[in-house]
């Protein structure tokens, strides 16, 4: 029964998960949208259970929120969330950088240079609008990961990756409106240099600024898209987890 396509060893739920994540990040599914099962079922051509599985995982990633027994929602965006997200990312990323520089070996340095090279070459090939390409987003993500891959903390890296994904959605929202992004590639090169030179303090500051300036850019050009909704309500998580 030839479905879309079912790559090697990939579970159906995983495939839907990836497609939905992509659609949420690209805002094909707009923030705050109610996700009705019937609609999704025909959109992604899978059954209720499979959808539910994917939705559950997206809730874990913070891209979808669950409302008790009233269904699911694309996680809303807001100025408050963006600022909070940015602060947490800076905290985590600074620590990752520090640990990676302390613990990284030659192999780690080589991987960074390789990741940068791949990203750099793709930018040249794609020209001015590289930032709109999914392929570039992947290489960009891989580059930033390579910088901190040697930090030696699986837990920190997992947290970092989830935050990076969430932030990606905000970045996409602004790139949509700002064809001429400022030259991130220069910053990337500087960060790489300072990291490989094991200059912890400077590397941390550069990454800090890299993140915060991007946020400022988003706020300047895309904040009109954000929900004015209350600072508190937009962040209710479904599960009070343990306490109470």
Judged by the rule CB under 8 A, the positions of this chain that interact with a copy of itself are 9, 11, 14, 17, 21, 49, 52-53, 56-57, 59-62, 68-69, 81, 84-85, 87-88, 91-92, 95, 138, 141-142, 145, 152-156, 158-159, 161-165, 168, 235, 237, 239, 241-244
Of 2, 7, 42, 70, which one interacts with DNA (CB under 7 A)?
70
Distance, CA of 54 to CA of 163 (rounded, Å):
19
Q: Which of 2, 7, 69, 241 contacts DNA by CB under 7 A? A: 69
Q: How far is the CB of 145 from a copy of itself (least distance, A)?
A: 5
Nearest CB to a copy of itself, comparing residues 17 and 195: 17
d(CA 185, CA 78): 27
Nearer residue to a copy of itself within complex by CB, 179 or 230:
230
End-to-end, the C-alpha distance of the chain in Å comes to 48
Interface with DNA, residue 228, by CB under 7 A: no
Confirm or reject binding of residue 186 to DNA (CB under 7 A): no
**Which value, to the nearest 10 degrees, does the dihedral of the CA atoms of residues 6, 26, 129, 179 take?**
170
Contact between 71 and DNA (CB under 7 A)?
yes
How far is Cα 191 from Cα 202, in angstroms, rounded to an integer? 8
Binding mask 42-61 toward DNA (x if CB under 7 A, else -) reads: ----xxxxx-xx--------
Q: Can you name the residues that pair with 31 across neighbouring β-strands?
A: none
* Cβ proximity to a copy of itself, 52 vs 212, nearer residue: 52
Closest CA to 118 of 97, 134, 140: 140
Binding partner of residue 235 among a copy of itself, DNA, none, CB under 5 to 8 Å per kind? a copy of itself
Give the three-class secondary structure for 34.
Answer: strand
Minimal distance in Å, beta carbon 220 to DNA?
A: 35
Tally: H helices and E strands in the chain: 9, 3
Q: Is 64 in a helix, a strand, or coil?
A: strand
């Amino acid at each position: 029964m030839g479905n879309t396509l079912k790559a090697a060893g990939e579970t159906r739920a995983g495939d839907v998960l990836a497609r939905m994540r992509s659609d949420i990040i690209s805002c094909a599914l707009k923030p705050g949208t109610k996700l009705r099962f019937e609609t999704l079922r025909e959109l992604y051509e899978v059954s209720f259970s499979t959808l539910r599985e994917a939705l559950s995982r997206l809730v874990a990633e913070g891209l979808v929120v669950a409302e008790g027994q009233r269904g699911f929602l694309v996680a809303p965006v807001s100025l408050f969330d963006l600022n909070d997200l940015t602060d947490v990312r800076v905290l985590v990323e600074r620590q990752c950088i520090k640990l990676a520089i302390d613990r990284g070996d030659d192999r780690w340095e080589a991987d960074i240079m390789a990741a940068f090279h791949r990203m750099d070459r793709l930018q040249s090939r794609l020209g001015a609008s590289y930032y709109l390409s999914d392929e570039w987003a992947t290489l960009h993500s891989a580059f930033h990961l390579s910088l901190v891959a040697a930090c030696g903390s699986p837990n920190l890296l997992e947290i970092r990756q989830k935050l990076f994904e969430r932030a990606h959605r905000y970045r996409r929202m602004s790139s949509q409106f700002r064809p001429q992004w400022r030259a991130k590639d220069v910053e990337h090169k500087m960060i790489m240099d300072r990291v490989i030179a094991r200059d912890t303090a400077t590397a941390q500051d550069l990454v800090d600024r890299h993140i915060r300036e991007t946020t400022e850019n988003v706020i300047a050009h895309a904040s009109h898209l954000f929900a004015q909704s209350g600072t508190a309500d937009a962040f209710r998580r479904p599960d009070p987890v343990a306490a109470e």
